[in-house]
Structure 1
Amino acid sequence: MMLVHLLASLLASSSLAQDHRLVDDGATREVVPWTSPGMIQSPVAFTIDRFGRVYVVESDRAGNAVSDTRQLGHLNGVEEDLLLKTVEDRRVLIRRWVEGGHFDSDFFTRTEDRVRMVQDTDGDGLADEQHVFAGGFNDEVDGIAAGVLVHDGKVYFTNIPSLWVLEDEDGDGVAERRESLSYGYGVRWCFYGHDLHGLVLGPDGRIYFSMGDRGFNVTTKEGRHLFGPDRGGVFRCWPDGSGMELFHVGLRNPQELAFDTWGNLYTGDNNCDSGDRARVVHVLEGADSGWRQDVQSLPSRGPWNR
């Protein structure tokens, strides 16, 4: 029985990419797990560098320190959430809940999100080594970590409220340097999973990423103010974090981003559970797709479905 690694075969086969035919050469192929049980936990996203090392985003905070308004109704969660305008407003709200005895004092900091490096060191086609590349993302307003990209020897990592760049400066497989390139994402609790994600390198050399309708209140390195606490969108910046722009706004929960051969950008966006359809969006520069999170709590979603 011949073992092949399905993903590598698919990516390497240009004819398959063009005409979508399955390989029929009489060989037997078996799909097996690349990682062994327990090697990774709670994976959310991953990417691969040029050495074949896999960077896996893991979240222990999902469903713990990071909740949403559907679980916070006993704390007047929706009404409180709609008042939030900055990440720091959410921090104040968290501390008020803790001081009021609604949560343990360490509830919002005792779990972390992280980036784990996984690799095949002996070339047998199976992962045999893993370690934490960058951990300790457990600030009370952190999470859910949901995006990772390797570019020019650096690891870009999206974890509300920041776009991070992580760098292994001495080659030991651990990031010694971390810098928040942009801060202010995830103003609201909103809905679980409406996070900062979708990292991709654009054909123009800029980094693109998506934000769900937990919203944003961001001041760029140049001092521009990007404000939308009730909406999601797509952003882009240069690899050093400069030139940050709101590329497209009015999305509910755009997940991954993908460019086609001609540089057109697309994303998938979630429906709002009221009869509208999930959709593939052609992400156009300067456009507004119309969603505002404020209507989520209205009967039939108010004007969104009219």
Structure 2
Amino acid sequence: MSKFFIFCLCSFSIIGSCVLADQVFSPPSIKVASGFEVRLAASDPIVKYPMMACFDDFGHLYVAESDGRNLTTRAAIERELPRFVRRLVDVDGDGVFDKSTIFADRMTMPEGGVWYNGALYIISAPYLWRLEDIDGDGVADKRDKILGTMEFDGRANQHGPYLGPNGRMYFSGGHFGYDLIGTDGTRSGFSRAAGIFSCWPDGTDVQVEGQGGVNPVDIVFTSNGDMLSTCAIFDSFGGKRHDALIHWMPGGLTQRVYGSPLLPETGFRLPATSRWGQVAPAGLIRYRGKIFGEAYQDTLFACHFNTRKVVNVRLESNNGSFVTVEKDFLSSDNIGFHPADILEDADGSLLLLDTGGWLSWGCPFSKKARPEIKGAIYRIQRKGVLGQQDPRGLRVLWDSINSKDLVYLLNDPRPAVRDKAIEVIITRDETILDVLSSLIIDSDDPVFRKRCLWAVSRFKSERSLVILRKALKDPDSGVRQVAARSLGRLKDLKALLPLSELLSDSSPSVRAASATAIGQLGDKNALSFLFNNLNPNDPIHTKHAFVYAIARIGDSTAVSSYLSDNISSFRQQIALRVLASIGGDLDSRRVIPLLRSPDSNVCQEARRLISSRKEMKGEIINIFHDIIKEEKIRTPDDELIEGIILAFAQDNRFQELLLDALSSKAIKPKIKVQILASLSFLDSLPDSLQSSIIIGLNHLEADVRMESLNIAQRFDVKENVLDAI
């Protein structure tokens, strides 16, 4: 019997049974979009429970694999070290893997992986590892810890890493707790708020890129550098759990963060780009080849574990972010079919990893483990379309190719060749930057110009920075985004002025990228540029970028100066919000007047700031005490009384002050009415303040008694009220 055979019926390709190494594997029935076919690429005994995978430069596949058990504690996992990384080789080049070796055994929970610079980088909690095969026998001889640590308990919650276009490693997860420490001592801080993280390949410069959801999984980047990921448990909406596709922004918090975030609150939470319900999204890729046709180029393929399908997602730019157009691409009705990862092979086909039926721990849909249902790896191809010749560029004379021809390979139709070209470019001396600069100027193709700029950004030299600064004036908004993102990461202080000019760019995405870059520069002189270009009508992602940049610069004294900006209440609102996030010294005389602002948003932010500053409590309570004793109360003072009460109603000392004021004959009835009216705006009335109703009901003034009845009705307080009446 042959290694595989395919049956085509209408719009579906259905896998038949096959034999590998004299053992029969019966694959499930799989439906795939019209014009495509599915082939079996590996199954038992070559592979049994594949979870996530990546290719090396030669097409060897590295598979993070389970042993089929559900261990539920860290202690059990560290005792057993049950999982491993398998290396698969297609010896004869027919698309089916023939040879299997264990590349790295005795691991905890390897998930994800990327091949970079001759080694496999992979998350296996509690560390990010670099695994290298020194003697070429297909087994890792050297294991280096790049950074750590991450807590784990057997549930999938750490993934990656993934190589960003800027050369950084990105990875995800963290809901069980982490404190990431890089090789240079940079540190994330401890948190249980899951998110996206990054570092350079040597483990330096650890960054928290964004936080939210419970289990962010695979990460992809658009050609402009936008970062997206799948996420299991984004939030609960309408009483139901929602998983999602997220468009992340640097420093962004999603609408629901589970745990205490390390990032500052900007007030502009990132929404879901697409809500999927409880599908347990896992693997995600951006299709970069051309073999599938124009309709699929630059679209995403997302694995939905629970619903046993792969969804094709087209991103459409929309007001600084994206909307999606989605359709089912592949599915199976078989209960044991669980697509966990998907990746693009160099020939343009897709590899789909079905992990089988073993998983039950942490998966509410898989109540019962079925390890007898083995997983497999499938290859998805377009019917009647031949793959490209030399898809990995193994015939290219990389060591001797001249610089111009090397740069032109960035426009090659083969994604693997383009990736290899970048890695070779950055090994050349800086004279190649002159070639890149010349070709960027001469090219009318923005896609090629962006690829060139990503290569330029990897040099981290003054010559490369000059090229990137010039690109800020490129007519294409995507090119401007790439340039801005690169200059921010490289912390080019000379780029401040040209970046500031883009804060009023016609594209909200360019404005956001420029604001983010300015925040990364950390120059306090940039605050005026950011504040002067704040626009309340900008989309959420763009407003977040501006506020995060201001918070990242972190100059509380300079930010406080905008509290007196009577021209723009929006600037006052943002200044208050940033001050609440970054802390620092604060002059209460600048904040208190804003409690009387005619702009309700400013009032709300002022109250929020005051309530977050314990050091201001005594001073503000004293101010309140003075106001209620004044002979004549002005309307702004009414609003100030209300604001202070709302901010401090939970404070024991302040509660005693309120009760004393309501009982005192020295306090005018009008003030007492105002105090009681303010209490009615609380979300709930503290138990210790319920006696305020009784005090009011026993007052001689009818207005005071009436306001007390209003509070009793508002909070449904019945105890002792009838007796008081």
TM-score by length of 2: 0.29
CA distance in 1 between counterparts of 2:64 and 2:89 reads 14
Which residue number corresponds to residue 304 of structure 2? none
Aligned residues of 1:61 and 1:112 also touching (Cα < 8 A): no
CA distance in 1 between counterparts of 2:240 and 2:34 reads 40
Which residue number corresponds to residue 128 of structure 1? 98
Letter in 2 for 1:185: M
How far apart are residue 32 of structure 1 and its match? Answer: 2.2
CA distance in 1 between counterparts of 2:111 and 2:176 reads 14
- Give deviations 1:1-34, integer Å, cap 9, x for gaps: x989xxxxxxxxxxxxxxxxx886xxxx753211
CA distance in 1 between counterparts of 2:79 and 2:181 reads 25
Q: Which has the higher strand share?
A: 1
1:157 to 110, 118, 122: 122
Which residue number corresponds to residue 51 of structure 2? 44
- Give deviations 1:108-131, integer Å, cap 9, x for gaps: 522421111001112233211000
Aligned residues of 1:197 and 1:211 also touching (Cα < 8 A): yes
Identical aligned residues as a percent: 29
- Give deviations 1:243-291, integer Å, cap 9, x for gaps: 1211112331001001012110001112256524212111111122241
How far apart are residue 241 of structure 1 and its match? Answer: 1.0
Q: How many residues were matched structurally?
A: 227
Aligned residues of 1:235 and 1:247 also touching (Cα < 8 A): yes
Aligned residues of 2:150 and 2:174 also touching (Cα < 8 A): no
CA distance in 1 between counterparts of 2:42 and 2:144 reads 30
CA distance in 1 between counterparts of 2:160 and 2:131 reads 17
1:170 to 130, 135, 142: 135
CA distance in 2 between counterparts of 1:287 and 1:125 reads 41
CA distance in 2 between counterparts of 1:175 and 1:108 reads 20
Which residue number corresponds to residue 256 of structure 1? 218
Q: How does 1:98-109 map to 2 (within 5 A)?
A: 108-109=78-79
Which residue number corresponds to residue 65 of structure 2? 58
Q: Which has the greater radius of gyration?
A: 2
Aligned residues of 1:210 and 1:235 also touching (Cα < 8 A): yes
Question: In the superposition, relative to structure 1, how do residues 252 and 42 fare at CA in structure 2: closer, same or farther (>3 Å)?
Answer: same
2:228 to 266, 273, 286: 266
Q: Which has the higher helix share?
A: 2
Which residue number corresponds to residue 196 of structure 2? 234
3-state SS of the aligned residue for 1:248? strand
Q: How does 1:178-217 map to 2 (within 5 A)?
A: 178-186=143-151, 189=153, 192-193=155-156, 195-217=157-179
Which residue number corresponds to residue 284 of structure 2? none
3-state SS of the aligned residue for 2:38? coil
Which shifted more, 258-267 or 218-227? 218-227
CA distance in 2 between counterparts of 1:174 and 1:219 reads 28
Letter in 2 for 1:145: P
Q: Is 1:114–2:77 an aligned residue pair?
A: no
Q: Which runs of 4 or more aligned residues in structure 1 lie more than 3 Å from their structure 2 counterparts after TM superposition?
A: none
- Give deviations 1:145-187, integer Å, cap 9, x for gaps: 211111121101111100000111122211111101011112x
Give structure 2 stretches of 5+ with no counterpart.
7-32, 261-725
Question: In the superposition, relative to structure 1, how do residues 61 and 128 fare at CA in structure 2: closer, same or farther (>3 Å)?
Answer: closer
Give structure 1 stretches of 5+ with no counterpart.
5-21, 68-89, 95-105, 295-306
Letter in 2 for 1:291: V
Question: In the superposition, relative to structure 1, how do residues 125 and 177 fare at CA in structure 2: closer, same or farther (>3 Å)?
Answer: same
Aligned residues of 1:160 and 1:196 also touching (Cα < 8 A): yes
How far apart are residue 62 of structure 1 and its match? Answer: 5.3
2:258 to 272, 278, 292: 292
3-state SS of the aligned residue for 1:157? strand
CA distance in 2 between counterparts of 1:237 and 1:254 reads 17
Which residue number corresponds to residue 83 of structure 1? none
Aligned residues of 2:122 and 2:160 also touching (Cα < 8 A): no
Which residue number corresponds to residue 278 of structure 1? 243
How far apart are residue 59 of structure 1 and its match? Answer: 2.1
Question: In the superposition, relative to structure 1, how do residues 62 and 204 fare at CA in structure 2: closer, same or farther (>3 Å)?
Answer: farther
- Give deviations 1:211-232, integer Å, cap 9, x for gaps: 2411211222222332243211
Q: Which has the higher contact order (CA 8 A, sep 6+)?
A: 1
CA distance in 2 between counterparts of 1:122 and 1:241 reads 37
How far apart are residue 205 of structure 1 and its match? Answer: 0.6
Aligned residues of 1:252 and 1:293 also touching (Cα < 8 A): no
TM-score by length of 1: 0.67
Letter in 2 for 1:257: I
Letter in 1 for 2:85: V
